[in-house]
Amino acid sequence: MKFNTKVIHGGQHHDPSTGAVMPPVYQTSTFVQTSPGQPLNPDYEYSRAANPTRSALENALASIENGTRGLAFSSGLAATDCVLRSFKAGDEIIAMDDLYGGTYRMFTRIYANSGIKFHFVDMNDLAKFESLINENTKLVWVETPTNPLMKIADIAEIAKITKKHKILFAVDNTFATPYLQKPLDLGADIVMHSATKYLGGHSDVIAGALIVKDEELGSQLHFQQFATGATLGPMDSFLVLRGIKTLHLRVQRHCENGTKIAEFLLNHPKIEKVYYPGLPSHPYHEVAKKQMIGGFGGMVTFTFKSGKKEDAISFLEKVKVFTLAESLGGVESLANHPALMTHASIPEDKRKEIGITDDLVRLSVGVEDAEDLIEDLKQALL
């Protein structure tokens, strides 16, 4: 099955009891047993362990990421937390130096406190990355493209190193989506999503996902999820599944509009830097071209020539078609100030060190008419 068919049919079947074409929202916490320990349907006894609407979503997730098992969580961070729970004090984790602020906060303020050691490194320096590996290293965690600086990590090259050292390799595929990038095919062990974003696609649900190829790893992660409980409810599972059915159409338009906006900003006299992996001037454009098939997504980040925070704030107060809000990946365009909003949990010195400056603005370019979006940017930049 090709991807555009998978988003609609992958892992799906009509509801066995009614023939319903769309999976019903099985809004139930529990399932009848005919005798103690004998559920009527052996697959379902309690919705924390499994629920048919969530199973429909999890099967779709496995299908579109070319995995064998998908797991749906109550948020993206709950999915990340499920992976991190496997490690103990003394273990070491190497992570990309640019990450969503909430992921960085979890790593440095929750798991570092329980004795796990984190190293943050730009994974484009493969030699430096490999030099950090020792016998305690258990996990490598990357976002690519990264949030918000749109850095690219070469998944296939990193996977060669993690395989050599027998370390788990997880990729947060939120920005790229499986339409553009398939980390499991490139050698990663775990794909993570904030399904709140492009998978859901309509800014109406908070959800997360993990997908793996290895069945044993899938069972371990399911055990963690079941034992700790951050599962996705049936209604939210339905919404994400419905979103996935148009993922291919939406992401195509996100890519077209993202490219137009990036080019517009690149030529604007008030703009200093534009971070978009589709631009030939992007430092990792060639890697992005190799591993992102069919486009570069809808996320565009930029800074002002003046370098002034006030210019970024004034721009964000003036946008009208773009909405000033956290999050990304919905059909509507959003604008965000990482330093004051999504990445405020990263200490100021660390933000400055990696390039999240006070004049940095991040756009989630939606699927509206590109001309209206450009007109909006023009008036907001006056």
* Interface positions with ligand P1T (CB under 6 A): 75-77, 100, 102-103, 143, 147, 172, 174, 194, 196, 206, 208, 326-328, 336, 342
172 is catalytic: yes
- What angle do the packed helices 370-380 and 309-318 form, to 10 degrees? 130
The catalytic position among 44, 100, 104, 111 is 100
Q: Is the dihedral of CA 306, 312, 314, 320 positive or negative?
A: positive
* Among 81, 98, 154, 172, the one annotated catalytic: 172
| Beta carbon nearer to ligand P1T, 172 or 236 | 172
Contact between 71 and 59 (Cβ < 8 Å): no
> Annotated catalytic, 100?
yes
What strand order describes the sheet that includes 334-336?
Answer: 271-275, 299-304, 361-364, 334-336, 323-324
Smallest gap from residue 103 Cβ to ligand P1T (A): 6
Nearest approach in angstroms of CB 356 to ligand P1T is 12
Q: Which is nearer to ligand P1T, 142 or 217 (CB)?
A: 142
By beta-carbon distance, which residue lies closest to ligand P1T?
Answer: 76
Active site residue 151: no
CB of residue 193 to ligand P1T, shortest distance in Å: 8
Provide the minimum distance between the beta carbon of 144 and ligand P1T in the complex, in angstroms, as a whole number.
10
370-380 vs 247-266: helix crossing angle, rounded to 10 = 40
Closest approach, Cβ 170 to ligand P1T, in A, equals: 11
Q: Of residues 6, 69, 182, 197, which has the active-site annotation?
A: 197
Residues in the chain: 382
Which of 122/326 has CB closer to ligand P1T? Answer: 326
Which CB sits closer to ligand P1T, 130 or 326? Answer: 326
Residue tagged active-site, from 48, 85, 105, 290: 48
CA-CA distance, 113 to 106, in Å (whole number)? 10
Q: Which two tokens stand for residue 252?
A: 């195509």
Known catalytic residue at 311 = no
- Residue closer to ligand P1T, measured from CB, 52 or 261: 261
Least separation in angstroms between residue 40's CB and ligand P1T is 34
Q: How far apart are CA 190 and CA 213, in angstroms?
A: 8
Nearer Cβ to ligand P1T (97/143): 143
Beta-strand runs (E) in the chain: 33-35, 38-39, 69-73, 92-96, 117-121, 137-143, 168-172, 190-194, 208-212, 271-275, 299-304, 323-324, 334-336, 361-364
Kindly list the distances between the CA atom of residue 19 and the CA atoms of 22, 253, 333, in Å, as whole numbers in the listed order. Answer: 9, 33, 37
Catalytic (active-site) positions: 48, 100, 172, 197
